[in-house]
Chain A
Amino acid sequence: MLFTIQVNNKKIKAEKGETILSALNRNGIKIPTLCRMKDFSPTGACRMCVVEVEGRDRLVTACSQPVEEWMKIKTHSPRVITARKTIVELLLSNHPDDCLYCDKKLNCELQRLAEELNIRERRIKARKIKPRLDQSSPAIVRELSKCILCGRCVRVCEEVVTANSLDFIRKGSLTHVGPAMDRDFNFSSCIHCGQCVMMCPTGALHEKHNIAEVQDFLNNTEIVKVIQYSPLVASGIAEELGIRFNRDFDRILNSMLRRIGFDKVFLTGTGTDICIYELAEQLGRNIEKGDVKPLYISACPAWVKFAEQFIPGILTNLSTIKSPQQITGVLIKTLIADQAGIKPEKIFSVSATPCMAMKFEARRDGMMRKGISDVDSVMTVRELARLIRLYGIDVSNIEPEPADEPMAGRSSAASLAEVSGGMAEAVIRTTHFLKYGIEPDKQLMKRLRTGGSFREITVMFEGKEVSVAVIDSLTGLAKLKALVDAGKHYDLIEVMTCPGGCINGAGLPFSFSGSDRKNRVKMIYQADEVDAVNLPCKSPLLNNLYNKFINENKEIADKKIFHTHFEKRNVLL
């Protein structure tokens, strides 16, 4: 039901049941918010969004109060502005003046609020919070003195990630946010997904940077510098550099990376193709044997850590096939090293990815061979963009170049795999194609793409039902468990931690908006429609890689290098 309310002496239409904030926003009136998170229930904790409602003594928090028909609202009266300003001034009063060096500079919400509210001097003086830096995690750095206690990280970790790794500790001036027993982060149940980093308005949470390390190696002439990047990286870089993204941008990125000093540039997408292909073969074997064990895809490293901690019972069903990054990584250290006649220890191998948890994955136990890591350094898209800017590469003046053989291409399915449901879709399509020479029904496949955090389909294989489940963010696991407990069987299960898949990965630019992401997903689906090589098994490049390189190389022909292992983890849950 629509009704009229009055805002700043003008009539606007509001809808019964919506909050004041949503009515304002729909009518193009902007007010600042801080603790509010889109798609979360409001808490009204920070009071940044206050407005004046005629007839009410106290200012009202617009993010949590429902609109009512009689309301006369002032959104920018002197009283409201003073209130908002005071909140920000209080937040700034004990905040470290570290902005020039801060990881969040140019993206900080606190800074933006201070600017929007025209704060020009430090009116409220308070003792600065004592610095406390936690760098123990392989992926995420916590700078507690920069925390403004908005609670967004606590909520996303509980309500979206379901890891419950953060909470408020103590009270009053001693309040801070941290993991169980106030330990360092690496002892906690954190699965390194980085969703909290994306939520944090300040520099209190950010990724662990590897730029300095990478630079050091770039300057080292005795080392061969190699980089791989995954399909979403190019669009992320385009966004960060403020260039319109098109399909050719991959090839521009290749030349930029070479100009920075990388000797070889490979596509993680080739590794994705291998990953899909190996999984499809495994699934095909399971179906043939009538195996009732489900096959859980293990390509999302945050999900893998989650399983190791919270549901170790399924580990025997977790596919041992490495993630695309690690497959590409191990091929660089074996095949490429062999080809070029260099020792693997003379290669420095970097991976650029939209994922935060891959920083952790690269350091896992089962991700090295003879003491040599598959991947040496993992950078987020944001870090790579910094590196590119640091080297002053002028994008407008650059010729597109192909990536390096034999990992220079990918099927459109490899891009699909970075969107939730895409990996499962690619695997089942490949399995079907390998068996029948045609793909399963397109409309059926599309049902894996959208529709809540739990999605499923059944595909027929010679009269046998093969069930596929997609868990889109870990909240979907509850539904899976309920169904499995009730006796339902699944043959293939894809789980991705970030909602929507890697497209919402914590390594992508902060400026990547919801509509940017949607557009990108649309492009990925469109490409899959028109691409001739829409599955790894149709890729001449991949065939060549398998037949000419992998199968011919007796050290890796058994494909053991593509496998890893998982084990139960003991952390405080």
Chain B
Amino acid sequence: MNTEIDSILKKYKPGRRDELIPLMQEIQDVNGHLSEEAIVKIGNYIGLSTTKIYGLATFYDQFRFIPAGKIRVTVCNGTSCFLNGSKAVINAIRELTGLQPGQTARDGIFSYEIVTCMGGCNNGPVISINDEYYPYVKPEQIPELLNKLKFIIEND
């Protein structure tokens, strides 16, 4: 993992802050999240404090700071999905799991995050589970969906 971060960093210019977001995106794509180690390394490389990098990264929904769960749910809360009722879906997940967006359950099985628009605006609310898309999701479906997935993972 170490060397991966280093080799990604090499692609960017040291001391330059304007490419921070794409840099963080690339590291997250490879590692699945922005670890503390990654943030420290980015900071040293571009000359910005970890406080500022973390602060900035938390402003965007796309970044996560702990590894995602085995079941990784992404809920769209973009304008279109919002109008189609994504809030209720999010609430259902929150209640069922007791987690906030960006958090991972203690057993490492489940995590979810909120993004703005997944490109399926006509079929909202849209969620994705481990990168597989589910259109027209209703809050009532959430418990069953999660149970099924949990069953599959536990018996894997």
Chain A residues within 8 Å of B, Cβ to Cβ: 164-171, 179-182, 188-189, 572-573
A52 to B55, CA, bound (A): 35
Pair B55/A167 contact, Cβ less than 8 Å: yes
CB distance from A32 to the nearest CB of B (A): 28
Q: How far is the CA of A189 from the CA of B49 in the complex (A)?
A: 10
Contact at B50–A180, with CB atoms within 8 Å? yes
Q: Which of B36-44, B117-125, B136-144 contacts A (4 or more CB under 8 A)?
A: B36-44
Known A181-B39, A572-B36; contact A169-B50, beta-carbon cutoff 8 A? no
Quick check: A166 and B58 within 8 Å, CB to CB?
no
Q: How far is the CA of A166 from the CA of B54 in the complex (A)?
A: 10
For the complex of A and B, list the 7 residue pairs with the smallest distance between their C-beta atoms, beginning with the closest: A167-B55, A164-B49, A180-B50, A180-B51, A572-B50, A170-B58, A167-B51
Residue among B36, B43, B52, B55 with max Cβ neighbours from chain A (10 Å): B55
| Chain A residue contacts of B52, Cβ below 8 A | 164, 167
Question: Residue B12 at the A interface, CB < 8 A?
Answer: no
**Which of B49, B50, B55 sits near A168, CB closer than 8 Å?**
B55
Which residues in window 14-47 of B have CB below 8 A to A? 36, 39-40, 43
| Cβ A180 vs Cβ B58 within 8 A | no
Do A181 and B59 have beta carbons less than 8 Å apart? no
Q: How far is the CA of A572 from the CA of B48 in the complex (A)?
A: 12
Report A413 CB to chain B, min CB distance, Å: 37
B-chain residues with CB within 8 Å of residue A168 when the two chains form the complex: 55, 59
Residue of B nearest to A165 (CB): B51
Say yes or no for B65: interface residue by CB 8 A criterion: yes
CB distance from B91 to the nearest CB of A (A): 15
Cross-chain contact B39 with A180 (CB below 8 angstroms): yes
> Interface size bucket, B side?
10 to 19
Contact A573 B59 (CB under 8 A): no
What is the distance, in angstroms, from A289's C-beta to the closest C-beta of chain B?
A: 37
Which residues of chain A come closer than 8 Å to B39, judged between CB atoms? 180-181, 572
Residues of B within 8 A of A (CB): 36, 39-40, 43, 49-56, 58-59, 65
Contact B59 A182 (CB under 8 A): no
Beta-carbon contact of B51 and A166 below 8 Å: yes
Inter-chain contact A169/B49, CB cutoff 8 Å? no
Given contacts A180-B49, A181-B65, A189-B49, contact A169 B55 (CB under 8 A): yes
Q: Report the Cα distance A180→B55, complex, angstroms.
A: 7
Q: By DSSP majority rule, is chain A's interface helix, strand, loop, or mixed?
A: loop
Closest residue of A by beta carbon distance from B61? A171
- Nearest CB on A from B36, distance (A): 6
The residue among A165, A170, A171 with the most chain B CB atoms within 10 A of its own CB is A170
Closest to A171 in B: B59
Closest B residue to A167 using CB positions: B55
Residues in B neighbouring A169, C-beta threshold 8 A: 54-55, 58
Q: How far is the CA of A305 from the CA of B58 in the complex (A)?
A: 27
Bound together, the chains give a CA A166 to CA B55 distance in angstroms of 9
Given contacts A181-B65, A572-B40, A573-B43, contact A189 B58 (CB under 8 A): no
- Cβ–Cβ < 8 Å partners of A171 in chain B: 58-59
Q: Least Cβ distance of A157 to chain B in Å?
A: 9
Kindly list 10 other residue pairs between chains A and B, CB separation below 8 angstroms, not including A166-B51, A180-B50, A181-B50. Answer: A164-B52, A165-B51, A167-B51, A167-B52, A167-B54, A167-B55, A168-B59, A169-B55, A171-B58, A171-B59
Bound-state Cα–Cα, A166 to B52, Å? 8
* Residues on the A chain within 8 Å of B65, using CB: 181
Query: For residue A181, which residues in chain B have a CB less than 8 angstroms away from its CB?
Result: 36, 39, 50, 54, 65
Q: Which residues of chain B are within 8 angstroms of A179 by Cβ–Cβ distance?
A: 51
Instruction: Pick 23 A–B contacts, CB within 8 A, sort by A.
Output: A166-B51, A167-B52, A167-B54, A167-B56, A168-B55, A168-B59, A169-B55, A179-B51, A180-B39, A180-B49, A180-B54, A181-B39, A181-B50, A181-B54, A182-B58, A189-B49, A189-B51, A572-B36, A572-B39, A572-B50, A572-B51, A573-B49, A573-B50
Q: Which residues of B contact A188 (CB under 8 A)?
A: 51
Q: How far is the CA of A180 from the CA of B59 in the complex (A)?
A: 13
Find chain A residues with CB under 8 A from B36 CB: 181, 572
A182 to B64, CA, bound (A): 13
Closest-by-CB residue of A relative to B35 is A181
Q: Bound state CA distance, A182 and B50, in angstroms?
A: 11
* Chain A, residue nearest B44 (CB): A573
CA gap between A179 and B50 in the complex, in Å? 9
Tell me which of B36, B40, B43, B58 has the highest count of chain A C-beta atoms within 10 A of its own C-beta: B58
Interchain nearest-CB distance for A182 vs B (Å): 7
Tell me whether A164 and B51 are in contact in the complex, defined as CB-CB below 8 angstroms, given that A181-B36, A572-B40, A573-B43 are known contacts: yes
With both beta carbons as reference points, the residue of chain A lying nearest to B51 in the complex is identified as: A180
B56 to chain A: which residues have CB within 8 Å?
Answer: 167
CA distance A181 to B52 in the complex (A): 10
Question: How far apart sit A166 and B53, CA to CA, in the bound complex (Å)?
Answer: 11
A182 with B43, Cβ < 8 A, contacts A171-B59, A572-B36 known? no
A164, A167, A182: residue with the most chain B Cβ atoms closer than 10 Å: A167
Complex CA gap A573/B43 in Å reads 8
Residue of B nearest to A188 (CB): B51
Q: What is the chain B residue whose CB lies nearest that of A164?
A: B49
Minimum C-beta distance from A33 to chain B (A): 24
Interchain nearest-CB distance for A154 vs B (Å): 9
Closest Cβ of chain B to A69, distance in Å, is: 38
A165 to B43, CA, bound (A): 13
A189 to B43, CA, bound (A): 14
The distance in angstroms between the C-alpha atoms of A164 and B43, with both chains bound, is 12
Q: Which residue of A lies closest to B43 (CB)?
A: A573
Shortest CB-to-CB span from A426 to chain B, Å, is 34
Residues of chain A with a CB closer than 8 A to B58's CB: 169-171, 182
